Structure 1
Amino acid sequence: MKQLFPYGLDAPPVVRNLVLCSLACWLLFALNFTHWVPITINGFQWPALSFGLGAAALIWSSCYGKLRRRETLLDQLHWSGAERVLDIGCGRGLFAVAAARRVPQGHVTGIDIWQSEDLSGNSPEAVADNALREGVADRVDTRTADMRKLPFADGTVDTVVSSVAIHNIYQAEERDRAIDEIARVLRSGGQVLIDDIRHMSQYAKRLRAAGFEVSLTHDVASWFWRVISFGNLVPGTLVARKSLG
């Protein structure tokens, strides 16, 4: 399991529920061809396929997709090689480790509160293992911290990255606090990359209000997730730079 998902299985309860829903729909579809139920309802194969595709997409992404995607996303930032980087909600170090390879004279700190329902095997030890495996252990460290109260002084971070983390804060005002903390710890001219599955417009609005230049994009995959989640998921990528001064 560790070799199959070195950076963990994303949202294990969601994957489990999608698989169970798919199996239940396939069972109901199969029962239509028997005389065991008094009524016949057609069309169960379509939600079965939808749930199954959702589970398969999450599993594929956890194995391969997110490793490829992280490089594409990090390519959108400017790197001098000496940045101090903060990875918010670092999980098992997917972005922290990749960022560390781009800053041979810099350092990356990952923070998390290590919730296993968000990512299987989520722990500081998993970050350390992955950093060692990818040869950047000397440039990566972790802290247990809440993104709404970052343990860093004002203007001490060059780059902030966050992948599929901030949406786990359910209250809008608390998400605003997390965005405000990002703005606080970034130096003038610092950059931020946020890749998330919902609330992207809120993040963009809050950063613009703080004086950031913001670019928000939604790729083709975003529309797939919108359809398959009936509009509940609206993935997007935000890249922003803090104004000088």
Structure 2
Amino acid sequence: MDYFLWFDNDFGRLNFFHTSIRGKNLMWNDLIDKINIPEDSIILDLGTGHGLVLIKFASKISNEGHVTGIDLWKNRDQSNNSLKSTQKLLQQNNIENRADLKTSDMTDLPFEDKKYDFVTASMAIHNIKSKQNRYKALDEATRVLKTEGLLIILDTGNHKKEYLSYLIALGYRIKYAKTYGIIGWWTGPWMSSYAIIAEKKL
């Protein structure tokens, strides 16, 4: 029995590190391949963390576009999560002229209505513990997203159907919804990753 406990733990750790280091990157490459990002796009990244998504989108736009990343910068959500360390990554990737970072709660965004062409959230919304507040984050993302803009969510947990139902009720058209296999496993198939690309129609 000790052997199987060891195997399960080791198996889980391997999957976690693979998804964290390589899988997230592959899944976002898959999502970005499915959309058109004009060079002058204005983008908001919710729960930016170490800046993976922000950097990917910033690499697709010109200086006429812009990406803003927001986070509460909590280590409990992601290890070594800090505004200072992510700011260094912007400098290293030479994107400071078309990207910036702010400290903000995704359930209460300090931005005007219909400002963004894209709103993204990578492994962030599930960190909001109550369903009511997860819906509030989706409401806020919807408020700041332009009509016909895209909301792109990559997440884990058991909230995929919850998000899909709520987004449809908000008037979105679901353009893509997928649950990923082993590249998106966090410990195992019981904790997989899924993606949603939804177009705001109202």
Normalized against structure 1, the TM-score is what? 0.75
Instruction: Give the 3-state SS of the residue equivalent to 1:238 in structure 2.
Output: strand
User: Where does residue 51 of structure 1 map in the other structure?
Assistant: 9
> Are 1:62 and 2:17 matched, yes or no?
no
What is the CA-CA distance between 1:92 and the residue it aligns to? 1.4
The correspondence for 1:217, drawn from 175, 178, 181, is 178
CA deviations on 1:128-160 (whole Å, 9 max, x unpaired) are: 211222221211101111100111111111101
What is the CA-CA distance between 1:219 and the residue it aligns to?
2.0
Structure 2's unaligned 5+ residue stretches are none
Give the number of the structure whose residues are more often helix, by fraction.
1
Question: Equivalent residue for 1:204?
Answer: 164
C-alpha distance in structure 2 between counterparts of 1:83 and 1:200, whole Å:
27
C-alpha contact 1:83 1:159 (8 A) present in aligned 2: yes
- The structure carrying a bigger strand percent of its residues is 2
Q: Per-residue deviation at 1:200? A: 1.6
Q: How far apart, in 2, do the equivalents of 1:235 and 1:219 lie?
A: 6
Q: Calculate percent identity across the aligned residue pairs.
A: 30
Report how far residue 234 of structure 1 moved.
4.1
Residue 181 in structure 1 maps to residue 140 in structure 2: yes
Alignment of 1:1-245 (within 5 A): 43-104=1-62, 105-198=64-157, 199-214=159-174, 215-221=176-182, 225=186, 228=188, 231=190, 233-243=191-201
Partner amino acid, structure 2, of 1:75: D
Secondary structure in structure 2 of the residue aligned to 1:138: coil
**Structure 1 stretches (4+) deviating beyond 4 angstroms?**
222-226
What SS does the aligned partner of 2:43 have?
strand
RMSD between superposed Cα atoms in Å: 1.9
Indicate the structure (1 or 2) with the bigger Cα radius of gyration: 1
For residue 97 of structure 2, give the secondary structure of its aligned residue in structure 1: helix
For the residues of structure 2 that align with 1:234 and 1:66, how far apart are their CA atoms? 11
- The letter of the residue matching 2:10 is G
Q: How much does 1:201 deviate? A: 1.5
Q: Which segments of 5 or more consecutive residues in structure 1 lack a partner in the other structure?
A: 1-42
Is the Cα contact below 8 Å between 1:157 and 1:190 reproduced in 2?
yes
